[in-house]
Structure 1
Amino acid sequence: MIRIALAALLVCMPAMARADDPPVPATVLVAFDSEKIRPLIVEGVADRATGRKVEANDPVRIASISKLIMALATLRLVEEGKVSLDADVSDYLGWELRSPNFPDAKVTLAQLLSHRSGLRDRVDYIIPLGESLRARVSNPEAWFADAPPGEAPFEYANLGSPVVATVLEAATGERYDRLVERTVFAPLGIEACLNWVGCSEERVQRAVVLYRDTGEVARDDAADLPPNCAIPVAEGVECTLDNYVPGTNASIFSPQGGVRIGMIDLARIGQELMREQSQVFPNEMMLPAGEALFAEQSPGQDFFCRYGFHMQIIDDADSPCKDTLFGDGQARLGHAGEAYGLRAGLWFTMEGRQGVAYFTTAVPPRPSAEDEGGFDPREIELMARAQALPAANR
């Protein structure tokens, strides 16, 4: 009997890692409902140079989930009466933003947040300190040529995010990082930041380094963190925000993808969205899905079939979209993140009963540049692992 028990124990034990085995990629997944947050999977190495293991709330660059936070900040400013979703953003910027082929068509925050402004990522959306946002969006290549803003087809474009963030700055006189702190992070008791601006030294030291699947450092190793320069800066320009004028170029905060936040704190944002849907979003733009906020997109969209103000609906059984992550028949709201070998997500059920916030690193790149959207097999496997854990249903 003892031999049998020992044999069973050996079968259950994980194989011993060899010295030449690659480190386990940093992966964190937390589940949440309206009241509780439960870390379910916390594994891997946050910094291979030091061997530091990842912890549940270590801050990581969440890529495009940052857009959801930007939308939330925008809607808070709508509540404050600082901005209007349907106003011409030129009125806030102090200069005229127009599609070159449609000079009489205004551009609005609603269009920008729903990727219907006509802006496209045919020009670089990273605009360093010392360069001009106005000049970048004056390039005809930045615009869809065949339809005006509002009528242009849905096209996911990072370039719209620096425009939105700059509009918010111009309307309030606040730097984008500070207004997000005031309207989103501080009320929820979250310590998070954009491009590490505003995060404490202790928080910076907990940074999750992003690695590519080759093991190459992609972002946020020691050389990429404060006190080194952590914002994009043009050649010959000093890396300081001392003379930055809000409302000129908020691209320096990477609003499209530069939020650094831990998964427990990201889950708090998910809880806020679940608890206060009617307050967070104006009623006329909320559910049912497919109306107003979540407009059906063109048939050519394989991933962003239902997308609104930087929120997406996935896993909808009635949709032909290639967006299955959970596979349990429950549609979910949220946003995905993908950059620098990272995959991440913040998702919660339509009924607001349960959600997850997660990231995993060192994910292989897509097979081709044309392969856009959809979830990586590692993400799908991660969801299956989490759903199989007893703690997932407590």
Structure 2
Amino acid sequence: MVVGGHCDPRFFRVREVFERHFAEGLELGAAFAVFLDGQRVVDLWGGVADRKTGRPWEAHTPVLAFSCAKAVTATALLLLAERGLVDLAAPVRAYWPEFAAEGVTVEHVLTHQSGLPAIEEPVPVEMFEDLPAIAAMIASQTPLWEPGTAHGYHAVTYGFLVGEIIRRVTGKSAGDVVAAEIAGPRGLELWLGTPPDVIERTARLSAGERVIPAGLAEQGVPPDPSDPMAAVAAAALDRDSLMNRALGNPLVHLLPGGSNNPVILRAGWPAMGMVATARGLAAFYRDLVAGEILRPDTLSDAVRPRVTGPDRVLYLDSSFGLGYMRPAVTFLTPARGVRSAFGHTGMGGSVGLGDLEHGLGVAYTMNKMAEGMAGATRAFRLLEATYDSL
């Protein structure tokens, strides 16, 4: 298979890894982009955007990047805070009077400490595009733990919470603020709420390999307490686990085509609904690192770890600043980037990363989904080759 795009000779290792993933059958279609000190040094793509039709992956092929959206949504809220429109230490109900939970601050929401990681009532399919209505469902809930005392990944609720705060302050959706303040002025190929012409050329996601044996529970195999993935495996098989409750509502599979359905792409859920090209997402981090979106002092404070350690939802260690992931088991980063990298992963394997010390903006997008850590290894190998090339 021919890989398209450009790769600076200094980064030949990146091209080798990218091509090897296709040769080994790990990819269907994918793209990888790197900006170094503002200059595009890697911009690669290859494979097919749609397995059914054989449509090729091209230079401007976007794809649903799932939770990579969280960093972009957080940036929109931080812009408002930078302008004095939001106080991160203030209670959420200061901006959203109907929000019932006491003691939840805006910072708690950004750092996954609010105790509201799951929507308790099933979200009707007809409500999937009504973001304020979904937010209202969460607003009536009681936190599962005392806000600020622990953290647990708010996989879906994060976006409705942050997005509703943005809407209450500006009168606009998170997607509209991203378009007007971040993506639009810079010509970035990323959307929270994808327009029809972009949906038409968006890559179609395909299922990858299962990494947790479906028959594990039925076989009566006890979890190995020394295996850090044991709790994850057990939780994945438990329909009522907090992890599955956090990830499984709204039930996207009720729509024909699941996450490929135009309803999901149009809705632009702020936690996991961003459609982007690798080039567009990498350029977002390029501009963040350059101080062109947030002030340098704002970003430096935002990437400072606020919570690190056991995650009540993911059952692994995670680390978060104000909306940005920091290196941990849940955000695998090469050793050279552990101190300075930040960003966010996306379900199935996508990742966006910025690095203040090394001047990097990096993104990996793909359409062959993989579960668990198997999805992260493709991105990690590409990131490792990137850091090794510096």
Q: TM-score with structure 1 length normalisation? A: 0.69
Q: 1:380 to 1:88 in 2, by over 3 A?
A: closer
Is 1:348 the equivalent of 2:354? Answer: yes
1:333 aligned onto 2:341: yes
Counterpart CA distance in 2 for 1:298 and 1:123 is: 25
Is the radius of gyration larger for structure 1 or structure 2?
1
What's 2:381 paired with?
381
Instruction: Provide structure 2 residue ranges, at least 5 long, that are not aligned to the other structure.
Output: 1-18, 211-252
In the TM superposition, residue 159 of structure 1 has moved relative to its aligned partner by 1.2
2:116 corresponds, among 115, 119, 123, to 119
Distance 1:124 1:282, change over 3 A: farther
Q: State how far apart, in whole Å, the 2-side matches of 1:170 and 1:207 are.
A: 31
Q: What is the letter of the counterpart of residue 295 of structure 1? A: R
Deviation at 1:359, TM superposition (A): 1.8
**Paired residues for 1:1-394 under 5 Å:** 24-95=27-98, 97-99=99-101, 105-121=102-118, 123=120, 128-129=128-129, 131-140=133-142, 143-145=143-145, 147=146, 149=147, 151-157=148-154, 158-196=156-194, 199=195, 201=197, 203-213=198-208, 219=258, 221=260, 224-225=261-262, 229-230=263-264, 252-276=267-291, 279-280=294-295, 282-283=297-298, 286=300, 293-299=304-310, 304-314=317-327, 321=329, 323-328=331-336, 330-339=338-347, 342-366=348-372, 376-384=376-384, 393=390
Q: CA deviation at 1:22?
A: 7.8
* Unmatched 5+ stretches in structure 1: 1-13, 100-104, 233-251, 316-320, 367-372
Deviation at 1:71, TM superposition (A): 0.9
Q: In 2, Cα distance between the equivalents of 1:386 and 1:34?
A: 13
What do residues 84-120 of structure 1 show as CA deviations (whole Å, max 9, x unaligned)? 212222232232x233xxxxx3322111001111212
Contact conserved, 1:212 with 1:218, CA < 8 A, in 2?
no
More helix by share: 2
Query: Residue 308 and residue 375 in structure 1: after superposition, are their counterparts in 2 closer, same or farther (change >3 A)?
Result: farther
Per-residue CA deviation, residues 314-350 of structure 1 (Å, 9 max, x unaligned), is: 27xxxxx5754434565342333333xx311112334
Indicate if the aligned counterparts of 2:189 and 2:281 stay in contact, CA closer than 8 A. no
Letter in structure 2 aligned against 1:136:
I
Structure 1 CA distance, aligned partners of 2:161 and 2:87?
Answer: 15
- Distance in 2, matches of 1:22 and 1:34, equals 33
8 Å CA contact retained: 2:284, 2:361:
no
- Which fold has the larger relative contact order, with Cα–Cα distance below 8 Å and residues 6 or more apart in sequence? 2
Aligned sequence identity (%)? 19
Question: Does the 8 Å CA contact 2:306/2:322 hold for their aligned counterparts?
Answer: no
Distance in 2, matches of 1:273 and 1:297, equals 23
* Structure 1 residues 156 and 192, CA gap change in structure 2 (3 angstroms): same
**Distance in 1, Cα, partners of 2:26 & 2:301:** 43
Aligned residue pair count: 319
Task: Check 1:123–1:24 CA distance in 2 against 1; reply closer, same or farther (3 A cut).
Answer: same
- Matching residue's letter, 2:341: L
Report the residue type matching 1:333 in the other structure.
Answer: A
Deviation of the 1:353 alpha carbon: 2.0
The change in CA–CA distance for 1:22 and 1:346 in structure 2 (over 3 A counts) is: closer
User: Runs ≥4 in structure 1, deviation > 6 angstroms?
Assistant: 214-217
CA apart distance, 1:24: 4.8
- Rounded to whole Å, the distance in 1 between the matches of 2:53 and 2:350 is 24
> TM-score under structure 2 normalisation?
0.70
